[in-house]
Every structure is written in structure tokens, then in C-alpha cells.
Structure 1
Amino acid sequence: MFFSIIIPLYNRPQEIDELLNTLTKQTYLQFEVLVIEDGSKDDAKEIVQRYANKLDIKYFFKENAGQGFARNFGFERAQGDYFVIFDSDCLIPADYLETVKNYLYEHHLDAYGGPDAAHDSFTPVQKTISYAMTSPFTTGGIRGNAKHIGQFHPRSFNMGVSRQVWEKVGGFILTRLGEDIEYSIRIHENGFKIGLIPEAKVYHKRRTSFSQFYKQLHFFGRARINIYKHFPSELKLVHFFPAIFTLGFAFTILCNLFYWPLAVICNFFVLIYFLLIFFHSWSVNKSLKVAFLSIISSFIQLTAYGLGFMQDLIKRVVLKQQ
């Protein structure tokens, strides 16, 4: 089995250096790497060239069109039996490709996704962001989980599709705003088998600050409405949870300002919820600092997603704006 690893890149030369370094340590060697520079001003050409003697690697520069279409650009030039997509802010364990290869030989999948985790080298903020995006006490609990709700949708930070999928379904038709979910829905509708490979994890750095994390999750909330506009049946009750949490927290603030008896009850439930996050994160990360920061990151994850979700729900569904 030959893999084509496709990495879209936009103004992140340092990230691609770290990612490529992890690929030099793969235990399974039947793969190529295609780096698609999507119109970056701060390009990584020189960095990629350093790996010419270490990897079967190709570098392409194209006009900016977004990450979805950058991946399509890579698909068109890939030689592999399987196309593996990584985000540039990922670190790849040495046994990743060997794990995927062995799983695919035993369990046929036309497309797959894998979970993400925090690496020991991550900063406390990166670890707590990773916790918020994977925690059972946030919506992260339904991502990269074998017991997911409904049909499993691989996410593009760690996703693979067979050449047969590409030849029949084509590539991404959205370049962002939920493009990976839309793509996996079309793969499923064309009769292909999609599944999670639980052991095929990557270490996903995501964002390095809470402000960047807020912007990313606000965008994710908007993306869910974009998916709904294409596939109405894909909007589930669980997707409303961040918006409900956000409205509930706003209601709690109002109660504290104007009606103390009800505020006591609301404050109690908020306290219990944050304590559950704190102790669960402490047990996972073995760090009091990360556990405390996990309260902040989980709050940001829910409110940013909730506000983005409500923003586009009102604009695009209620008011029917394009």
C-alpha cells in the first residue's frame, strides 16, 4: 500500500518544518509527501527543500483558494493508493502509517479518520485547548470517538481517502466552513465505507492562544450552519448544546444582577459543571495548571461555537440571507 500525504499550507513555515521532521521517523516507508503552498506570502519552499534527501517530497505553489481546493490540487497529482490529509499544525507519531496500513488490511475502509491528542512538548495553553476539543464535557466528546453520535465524519486534520473515492466522488466542493464534513457525507452517499481508526492519532497543536482559539471555534459554529444549508438532516440536537450553554450562562449573569434567589441555583449548576471539567482534566493531564486553564478553554470552546452558530442561524436560516 502506497500513501500520498497531502498537506495544504498557508503562511506557516515553522509548522511544516516540525511536521516534516516527524514524517522522517515513520516506520512504514511506502509514502510520498505533497506540500501545497496556497498563495502564502511567508512561504516554506526553502524549508521543504531541506527534506529532499530525507523524504519523497514534492512542493507546489498555487494561488490562494483555501484549504479544501489546495487538497484537491494535491489529489490531482498524488500517486498513492490512499490519500492522507494532515493539517500543518500536526505532529505525526512514528508508527502512524504502519498503524493505518495494518488496520486497512484487516478492516476495509474507503475513507477513515483518526483522533487527536496533546503531545508532551505542547505548552499548557495548547494542552488545555486540546482537552477542550476532545473532552466528554464539551462537544469535543463526539469528535474522534468510536461511540460518536450518528454517522462518523472524518476531520481534515487527520483524514484518509482511497484513490477509488477520489475517482468517483471527486474532491472538496467547499474550500472551508465545514468542507471536511460535507466531503465525508458525499463519500457516504456514494456507497463507500467510512470509519474511525482509534489508534491512528496525531498530535494536533491547534491554536497557541485563547484569542486565536476563540476565532477558530466561532468559525466552526458558523460552519455547522453551512453544513445544514447543504444537508439539513445533519443538524443534530447536540449541535445546539453550545448555543444553549451560551444563553444559559448569559441568563445566569442576568440573574446575578437582578434576581439573586434564582442566581443561587444557576451558580450552583455552573460551579458543578466547571468542577467536573477541572477534575477530569486534572486526571487526564496530571497538571493543576492545565486543569485550571481547561475551565477557561472549555468555556471559550462552548461560547465561541455557540455565538458563531447563533449568528449564522439567525442570518442564514431565520433571515434567509446568503
Structure 2
Amino acid sequence: MFFSIIIPLYNRPQEIDELLATLCVQTYTQFEVVVIEDGSSLTAKEIVNSYADKLDIKYFFKPNGGQGFARNYGFERAKGDYFVIFDSDCLIPHDYLETVKDYLFDHHLDAYGGPDAAHESFTPVQKAISYGMTSVFTTGGIRGNEKHVGQFHPRSFNMGVSRAVWEKVGGFILTRLGEDIEYSIRIHQHGFKIGLIPGAKVFHKRRTSMFQFYKQIHFFGRARINIYKHFPSELKLVHFFPAVFTLGVIALLVLNVFYPPLAYFGNIFLLVYFMLIFFHSLVLNKSLKVAFLSIISSFIQLTAYGLGFIQDFFKRIVLKKQ
């Protein structure tokens, strides 16, 4: 099996350098790398070319169109049996491709997704953000997990599709706002088999500050409504949970100001919830600082998603604006 690794890139030369370094030590070597610079002003051409003697690598520059269409550009130029999509802010374990190859030979999948985790080199903030996006105490915990409501939808930071999928389904038709979920739904609709490869883990850096993380997750909340506009049946009760949590927090703040006795049980609930997050993160990360920051990242994960969801639910569904 020959893999084509597709990496869209926008103004992140340092990240692609670190990612390509991890690909140089893969135990399975039957792969090429296709880097698509999506209209960057800060290009990585020299960095990518510096790996020409270490990797089978191609570099392309195109006008900015967004990550979904940049991936399509890479698909069109790839020669692999299977296309593997990574975000530029990922680090890849040395046995990743071997794990995927072995799994695909034993279990037929036309498309797959894998989980993400924090690398030991990540900053405390990055580790806390990773916790917020993978914890069982947030809706981030349903990602990278087949055991949740509805179909499994791979996420494009760690996703693979066969050439057969590309030839029959085509590529991304959205470039942002839930483009990977929309693509997964169409793959399902064409009768292809999608599954999780539990061992195909990547280390995903995500954002370097809580403010950047907030903006990203707010965008994800809006993206869920965008998916609903394409596929109404894909809006599940679980997707409303962050919005309900956010409205509950707002109501609790109002009660604490104007009628504190009614806020008593809500305050106790939040305190217990934050304590569970703190000790769970402490066990996983073995760091008091990361455990404390995990409370903040988990709170942001729910409220930022909830606010984005509420914003576009009201605008695009209630007011019916495009």
C-alpha cells in the first residue's frame, strides 16, 4: 500500500518543519508527501525543499481558497492508493503509517479517522487545550471515538480516504465550517465504510493561547449549524449540550447577582464539575498547572462552542439568514 500524505499549509513554516521531521522517521516508508501552500504570505518553500533528500515530497503554491479546497488540490496531484490528511500543527508518531497499513489489511475501511493526544513537549496551555478537546467531561470527548450518537465522522487533522472514495465521491465541497463532517457524511451516503483506527494517534498542537482556542471552538459551534443546513438529520441532541450549558451558566450568573439562594445548587454542581476535571487531568498529565488550566480549557470548550452554536442557530435557523 502506497500512501499520499496531504498537508494544507497557511503561514505556518515552523509547524511544517516539525511535522516533516516526524515523517522522516516513519517505520513504514511507502509514502509521498504533498504540501499545498494555500496563498501564504509567509511561505515554507525553502523548508519543504530542505527535505527533498529525506522524503518523497512535492510542494505546490496556489491562491488562497481555504483548507478544504487545498486538500482537493493535493488529491488531484497525489499518486497513492490511500490519501492521508494531516493538519500542519500535528506531530506524527514513528509507527503511525505502519499502524494504519496493518489495520487496513486486517479490517477493510474506505475511510478512517484517528484520535489525538498531547505530546510531552507541548506547553502546559497546549496540554490543557488537548485535555479540553479529548476529555470525557466535555463534548470534545466524543471526537475520535466510535461509541457516540450517530455515525463516526473522521476529523481532517487526522483522516484518511482511499483513492476509490476520491474517484467516486470527489473531494471537499466546503472549505471551512465543518467541511470534514460534511465530507464524511457524503462518503457514508455513497455506501463506503468508515471507521476509527484507535492506534492511529497524532499529537495535535491546536492553539497556543486560550483566546485562540476560544475563537477556534466558537467557529466549531457555528460549523455545526452549517452542517445542519446541508444535512438536517445530523443535528443530534448531544450537539445542543454546550448551548444548554452556556445558557445555564448565564442564568446562574444572573441568579448569583439578584437572588443568590436560587443559585446554590447550581454553584455546587459547577464546583463538583470543576473538581472532577481538575483531578482527572491531574491523573492524566501529572501536573498541577495543567490540571488547573484544564478547568479553563474545558469551560471554554463548552461555552465557546455553545455561543457559536446559539449565534448561528438564531441567525440561520430562526431568522433564516444565509
Q: TM-score range by the shorter chain?
A: over 0.9
Shift of 1:148: 2.4
Aligned alpha-carbon RMSD (Å): 0.5
**Is residue 102 of structure 2 the alignment partner of residue 105 of structure 1?**
no
Aligned to 1:162: 162
Q: Which runs of 4+ in 1 moved over 2 A?
A: none
Cα deviation digits, residues 195-248 of structure 1 (max 9, x gap): 000000000000000010000000000000000000000001110111111110
Cα deviation digits, residues 271-314 of structure 1 (max 9, x gap): 01111111111111111111110000011111110000000000
Shift of 1:146: 3.3
Cα deviation digits, residues 7-66 of structure 1 (max 9, x gap): 000000000000000000100000000000000000000000100000000000000000
Alignment of 1:297-312 (within 5 A): 297-312=297-312
Deviates more, 1:23-32 or 1:281-290: 281-290
Aligned to 1:207: 207
- Are 1:228 and 1:235, in contact at CA under 8 Å, matched by a contact in 2? yes
**Is residue 25 of structure 2 the alignment partner of residue 25 of structure 1?**
yes
Alignment of 1:161-180 (within 5 A): 161-180=161-180
- Are 1:13 and 1:47, in contact at CA under 8 Å, matched by a contact in 2? yes
- Are 1:146 and 1:198, in contact at CA under 8 Å, matched by a contact in 2? no
* Matches of 2:150 and 2:232, distance apart in 1: 14
* Matches of 1:239 and 1:164, distance apart in 2: 31
Aligned to 1:115: 115
Task: Compute the TM-score of the two structures, normalised by the length of structure 2.
Answer: 0.99
For residue 76 of structure 2, what is the amino acid of its counterpart?
E
Task: Compute the TM-score of the two structures, normalised by the length of structure 1.
Answer: 0.99
Count of residues in Structure 1 that have an aligned counterpart in Structure 2: 322
* Matches of 2:22 and 2:83, distance apart in 1: 18
Aligned to 1:246: 246
Tell me, which stretches of 5 or more residues in structure 2 are unaligned?
A: none
SS at structure 2 position matched to 1:98: helix
Shift of 1:150: 1.4
Aligned to 1:185: 185
- Are 1:129 and 1:207, in contact at CA under 8 Å, matched by a contact in 2? yes
Cα deviation digits, residues 50-103 of structure 1 (max 9, x gap): 000000000000000000000000000000000000000000000000000000
Aligned to 1:10: 10
- Are 1:114 and 1:198, in contact at CA under 8 Å, matched by a contact in 2? yes
For residue 183 of structure 2, what is the amino acid of its counterpart?
Y
Aligned to 2:96: 96
Identity %: 82
